[in-house]
């Protein structure tokens, strides 16, 4: 259930499911606010909390390789691992549009195999769209997936799956040549049929120009405020990361510290014998309640 406060400010924030056509309409809608709010999620409870808070698009990002699985890049995560997380997110989401990242290697050989892999996300995980990284060189693939009725979100600028080719994680499109290439990439992604495009680590001015030029919504991450929507990695927003975060990743909470404090408290209580207390224990004999329920904490 979306809270009243959100329903009053977010267009279409009722129980109605967010759809691809609706996101396209937002681009031209005069409704204010009409920004598209996106976040990543990788598991059931996070997806459920995000969905109930009114997030429009939940991305099962391959960033999970780094923030959840502890790898130092997004490259190692497999298709089966992505499917496993996407299924959990799907179960936790009612209203938001669920998009899954196609992991590195799952769309880099032939188009037929890429299509089969994308179909697995729809059939086995129930996601509504997939995201692929790359601009001009993904034209044929995006067109093929779209033709097969699989909505595609593009992703250009800093594409983390290209880390080895790019030589690191750097802002893209800063030179004239780089900016022109990004414009060509954006046009190609739109022409191929993508319904939205993520712009990652791109100068604000260039992101604004791409946003003005495209008919499909742009979703920025480190691309300034003029995009049609914004996305962040949820662990960055929550303060649940171990490394330094980029400057665009505003931290809204310090969940890492909250977890640490809670667990330290538990360690202390177990060690000093104050956990569990008598009231947290079951009893035998005459004082035992007849139907002492054992509730396992699933909702
Ligand atoms: O994998 C991911 O989380 C992403 C977003 C940061 C756009 O691609």
What's the 228 CA to ligand 1 centre distance in angstroms? 16
Query: Residue 289: what pLDDT?
Result: 65
Active site positions, annotated: 200
Beta strand 57-60 with 36-40 is parallel
Query: Residue 285: what pLDDT?
Result: 81
Is 99 a pocket residue for ligand 1 (Cβ < 6 Å)? no
Cα–Cα distance, 185 to 212 (Å, whole number) = 15
What's the 233 CA to ligand 1 centre distance in angstroms? 6
Query: Residue 4: what pLDDT?
Result: 47
**For each successive 10 residues of the chain (299 residues), what is the average pLDDT?**
44 73 90 89 98 98 98 97 98 98 96 97 98 98 98 98 94 97 98 98 98 98 98 98 94 98 98 98 77 67
DSSP 17: P
Judge contact between 2 and 15, C-beta under 8 A.
Answer: yes
Is 221 a pocket residue for ligand 1 (Cβ < 6 Å)? yes
Is 201 a pocket residue for ligand 1 (Cβ < 6 Å)? no
DSSP 31-45: -SS-PEEEEE--SHH
Query: Residue 287: what pLDDT?
Result: 61
Q: Which stretches within 60-138 are classed as H helix?
A: 64-67, 79-92, 111-125
Burial tier of 278 (Cβ tally within 10 Å: 0-12, 13-18, 19+): exposed
Query: Residue 80: what pLDDT?
Result: 98
Burial tier of 100 (Cβ tally within 10 Å: 0-12, 13-18, 19+): buried
Query: Residue 6: what pLDDT?
Result: 43
């Amino acid at each position: 259930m979306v809270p009243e406060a959100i329903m009053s400010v977010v267009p279409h924030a009722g129980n109605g499911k967010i759809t691809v056509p609706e996101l396209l309409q937002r681009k031209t809608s005069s409704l204010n606010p009409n920004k598209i709010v996106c976040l990543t999620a990788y598991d059931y409870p996070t997806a459920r909390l995000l969905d109930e808070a009114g997030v429009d698009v939940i991305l099962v990002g391959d960033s999970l390789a780094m923030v959840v699985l502890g790898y130092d890049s997004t490259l190692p995560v497999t298709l089966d691992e992505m499917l496993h997380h996407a299924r959990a997110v799907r179960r936790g989401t009612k209203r938001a549009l669920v998009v899954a990242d196609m992991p590195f290697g799952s769309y880099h050989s032939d188009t037929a195999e890429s299509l089969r892999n994308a179909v697995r996300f729809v059939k086995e995980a129930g996601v509504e769209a997939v995201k692929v990284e790359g601009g001009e060189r993904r034209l044929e693939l995006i067109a093929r997936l779209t033709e097969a009725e699989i909505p595609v979100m593009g992703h250009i600028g800093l594409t983390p799956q290209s880390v080895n080719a790019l030589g690191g994680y750097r802002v893209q499109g800063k030179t004239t040549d780089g900016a022109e290439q990004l414009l060509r990439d954006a046009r190609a992604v739109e022409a191929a049929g993508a319904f939205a495009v993520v712009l990652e680590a791109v100068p604000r001015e260039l992101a604004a120009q791409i946003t003005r030029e495209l008919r499909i919504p742009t979703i920025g991450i480190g691309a300034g405020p003029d995009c049609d929507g914004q996305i962040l990695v949820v662990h960055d927003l929550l303060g649940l990361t171990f490394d330094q975060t980029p400057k665009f990743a505003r931290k809204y909470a310090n969940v890492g510290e909250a977890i640490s404090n809670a667990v330290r408290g538990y360690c202390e209580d177990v060690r000093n014998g104050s956990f569990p207390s008598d009231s947290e224990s079951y009893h035998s004999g005459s004082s035992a309640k007849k139907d002492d329920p054992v509730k396992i904490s699933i909702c």
